[in-house]
Chains A and B, each alone.
Chain A
Amino acid sequence: MVKKFILIDILLLVGVVAYFVFFRTDERELVKKQLIELARLSSKGESEKTTTMIIKNQSLQKIFAPECELHFGINMFDGKFSNLQLVNSISQANMYLQSSVIKASDIEVFLIDEQNAEADFTGEFKGRSKSGEYIEEVRALSAKMQKIDGEWVITAITIQKVLEK
């Protein structure tokens, strides 16, 4: 009898974990996955090889829509850019860095319709410049996403400070 209850508890636990890990493939999860992927691909490893960077850039290009709007509050990053321009900008920024880790967390997805979604999330950037300077920034981000050819791509990003003085 006791063994039966232990087994039921374990099965319940495995079921809950399996549901969250394998079966939650609704549209919100797909949007989340894209944003997490954006953060992963924009990061740079300590001794990352050029070939790795090229492969990552190719994947990164697919995450942005052909035309993407940025609202960063800085002239250089305000306006419309092509996905290629964005990938080049990220590569250029990474050239000044020894390493960087970007994390997307607290992602909240709002599905507007079958083809459009918006997501609010927190972006955390931890990096070290080639001169050895450590940089740490946290920003509140808001992204507009569109489903093109079955894939969620970013059409706009707005960045704000979490606490704006």
Chain B
Amino acid sequence: MSLPLVFFTIMSGFIKNFFFPKLNKYFFIRLSVTVVILTVLFSFVLMPAFINGRSMEPSYSAVGFNFCTKLKYKFNPIQVGDVVVIRYVDKKFFLKRVVALENDVVEFRNGVLFVNGVYRYEPYIKNNQCDWNLPPRLVQKNHVYVVGDNRTMPMNQHQFGQVAVSRVVGGVLW
């Protein structure tokens, strides 16, 4: 028997077993274990997230897919510049960038971000046509201040502001 034929025979057997497995006890054990592992993985470790919105452009395109790393902030504190997933309501989440932490004072002057009165350099913002003006805001205890990277829209059309740390679900995988 030639080598390609042996290979083909093995592969066809493998493919057949993969798509049409024998319904024996091992199959049900494998199925149960797989379901449990995937449920735990996608519920508590890596939450699948479909991105649908322009608020984080150009860092994240308006339509895309990512995973929310739910364990990221269980071991590390949230840091300025982190992109976080925020639970908004029910199954609706926001993807935003942390620009200030608790006790910081945030303000926008003609579209430029100032934290504690100091100009904040934001390299992730491209083509800045922002004209936002927001009086100084003190970030409350156990809160972080989040803003999207896309600041081309009017301020009242952009969802941003301080949010409770308890609403931060995690970071993004990439």
Contacts and interface: CB of A to CB of B under 8 A. Distances in A.
Contacts of A120: 166
A105 B161 contact: no
Nearest to B28: A5
A164 B23 contact: no
A163 B161 contact: yes
Contact of B89 (A2, A108, A138, A164): A138
Contacts of B31: 9
Given A140-B164, A140-B167, A162 B28 contact: no
Given A120-B166, A163-B163, A165-B161, A106 B28 contact: no
A5 to B, nearest CB: 4
A5 B137 contact: no
Contact of A124 (B87, B90, B159): B90
A9 to B, nearest CB: 6
A120 to B, nearest CB: 7
B26 to A, nearest CB: 9
B89 A162 contact: yes
A1 B25 contact: yes
Interface string A99-137: 000010110100000000000101010000000000000
Interface in B142-162: 146, 155, 159-162
Contact of B87 (A8, A12, A106): A106
A14 interface: no
10 contacts: A8-B28, A9-B28, A124-B89, A138-B89, A162-B89, A163-B160, A163-B161, A163-B162, A164-B163, A165-B161
Interface of A: 1-2, 4-6, 8-9, 12, 103, 105-106, 108, 120, 122, 124, 138, 140, 161-165
